[in-house]
Amino acid sequence: MRLNGFINLLKPPGMTSQDAVSRIKRLLPRGASVGHGGTLDPDAAGVLPICVGRATRLFDYIVDKRKEYIGELALGVSTDTCDSSGRMTSRGPVRASVADVERALGGFVGEIMQTPPVYSALKRGGEALYKKARRGENVEITARQVKIDALTLLQQTAQDRYLIKIECGKGVYIRSLMRDIAGKLGCPGHMSFLLRTASGAFRIEDAATLDELGDLQESLRPMDCLLGAYPALRLAARAREKVLNGSALPESDIVYSDARPGEVARLYVENEFAGMADRLAEGAKIRCMLLERG
């Protein structure tokens, strides 16, 4: 039996995202496609969407979705990895109060420029930056624009340590954010803890650990479960063969659509999810087809 869909995995700390994929792959028939929907740092825990079977083709449609984290900012010490696993690079006095931290957070909400940490999976010349950094190579990293939707100071957990809720879009490095907040406060700092509490439609209260997965077929979520932000486009049953052949879809095959011309939409043949399509002024064009014959 072919399995297709998503798993809402609760990744433990100390495991890479790729390690999690490998563990799940061992539970599936040989040759099954498995991937993850957005890297989570090895030291971090939390929600990691896993794509199984044909759901791996939907990766590009789920990575832009909103994410939520709870992270701890530790002031007074910076590290080369910007988290607690790294080597200390500086130590300095902290003069920031709770009110100072709250004020500093406001300056990082919205569209901001962020420089990713050198110890990251970003690639230069086909090789991950962390590999170059481990060899002591100087790596120049360009700042890029990311979006922070909200930052909320939850509590002070200890002297010079603060628990922060982060709501953001794709491509945000929480380690870099913590480093930069500390810089705004005029002291070194790093991320001492990170938990991803949501990724798109997946939330931590519904996530399962590797030991809890059990029957993978029962753990799989439907392939369209993370795509609710896209409008829907429904076709008549007679359009199934055209979808399987990747043919253009005329307006006469569309029985319902809340997508405007130019928008990407979830595609259904009757009630069966068939993939993703571009809505045209007249009809639609398939861009990712998930139906199978038989």
Which residues are known to be catalytic? Answer: 41
DSSP 130: H
Q: In a 3-state reduction of DSSP, which class is residue 9? A: strand
Cα 33 to Cα 54: distance, rounded to the nearest angstrom: 8
- Which residue, 135, 248, 281, is CA-closest to 267? 248
Cα 240 to Cα 294: distance, rounded to the nearest angstrom: 12
Q: What is the CA radius of gyration of the chain?
A: 22
DSSP result, 198-258: EETTEEGGG-B-GGG--SHHHHPBPTTTT-TTS-EEEE-GGGHHHHHTT--B-GGGEEEE-
- Cβ–Cβ < 8 Å for 287, 254: no
Cα 112 to Cα 171: distance, rounded to the nearest angstrom: 12
DSSP result, 63-119: TTS-EEEEEEEEESEEETTSBTTS-EEEE------HHHHHHHHHTTSEEEEEPPPSS
Question: What's the chain's length in residues?
Answer: 294
DSSP 283: S
φ, ψ (nearest 5 deg) of residue 55: -65, -20
